[in-house]
Structure 1
Amino acid sequence: MLTAPAAQADGENFRDRAGDAPAVIDVLDVRVQNFQRVVVTARYDDLVDGRSGGWTVYVDTNKRRVGPEFGVSGGLSTGTDYSVYRVRHWKYLSGPRSCPLDMNVNYRRDTSTFTISRRCLDRPGSIRVAVVGGKSARDGSWIKDWAPRRHRFYDWVARG
């Protein structure tokens, strides 16, 4: 009997630099599972309900086009909304798409997870992602942590 390699069976894990943002939004690593559904999990240094701002996963589905085609955004506090948007040049093109999507925030594990239907992303093959966590500072400015870096993606993850 043949089995998939461990990395494919579990998805792909990517590291981010620690300590480059406030702990509540400091992304430490990102896990991408590209199977029947696309599942993206970010782990933070110290995720705290009510103080954590929001996060966006930018999803690149087209190797011929520069930048992401989709953005999946949500809050990092209990009861916040979350949505999928079409994106071009890292900016939203329209209002939220109506499609199957779920978000889970686990403060004990310091993680946030989006589970996205493939239909919602126009049924892609390989994908790559960038994650940004953000929160407002006391002066009203917005503090962000890009993983891996601003307007850069992790490696492509083949559909399993």
Structure 2
Amino acid sequence: MNKLIRAAAVLAAGAALPLLHSPSAHAESVAVADPADAAASDADIRKVRVNHAARTVYTRIEVEDLDIASSQAGVTIWFDADGSRPGPEYQIGVPLFEGADWAVTRSSRWQSVGEPRSCRSDLTFLPGQDAVRVEVGRGCLGRPNNLRVSVRMTEQVSPSNVVRDWVPSRRHFLPWVVRD
């Protein structure tokens, strides 16, 4: 009888293993609110949403007050596409103002390395929503099935005052997002 109970317990434990992986940690999209923690900047990040679609990774960043005419702020989005290696493999730096360029590059130790990648990316300002939408083709990121991002806003509000706002926190990532 003990062997039968033990066998049933082993089977039940094996059946429960897939349940140990939290479904909320792997989703097609993730959205995270950020508190007002960079009040010295109008570009204080308020919310980040990442959608890992079939061909494109969309990152929508809401800020306190998006002023594309006079802002000096910029955002860097780091993409971790390989959880077995520390840190992100790719990054894109985007302006929070009109008239500037952006580029996807490889990343090593949280720094841009190499030449800009020749791949599809787009930037859309949504001033009525105080948001910017960044689109990066999955091919630009090595076509990962899962990825996670970290976001940092930087603005030099005066010669001696640089404001930074990390989401979720300095050199940490949002939860993994699975391609839909």
TM (normalized to structure 1)?
0.89
- Unmatched 5+ residue regions in structure 1? 1-6
The residue matched to 2:129 in structure 1 has which SS?
coil
Q: Tell me, in whole angstroms, the C-alpha distance in 1 between the residues paired with 2:125 and 2:79.
A: 19
Which residue of structure 1 lines up, in the alignment, with residue 42 of structure 2? 24
Task: State the partner residue of 2:22.
Answer: none
**1:6-155 equivalences in 2 (<5 Å):** 11-36=29-54, 37-49=56-68, 50-155=70-175
Equivalent residue number for residue 3 of structure 1: none
TM-score normalised according to structure 2 size = 0.79
Higher helix share: 2
Bigger Rg, which one: 2
Which amino acid in structure 2 is aligned with residue 12 of structure 1? V
What is the Cα deviation at residue 140 of structure 1? 4.8
What's the % identity of the aligned pairs? 29
Task: In structure 2, list runs of 5 or more residues that go unmatched.
Answer: 1-25
Q: How many residues align?
A: 153
CA-atom RMSD in angstroms: 1.7
Q: Secondary structure at the match of 2:140?
A: helix
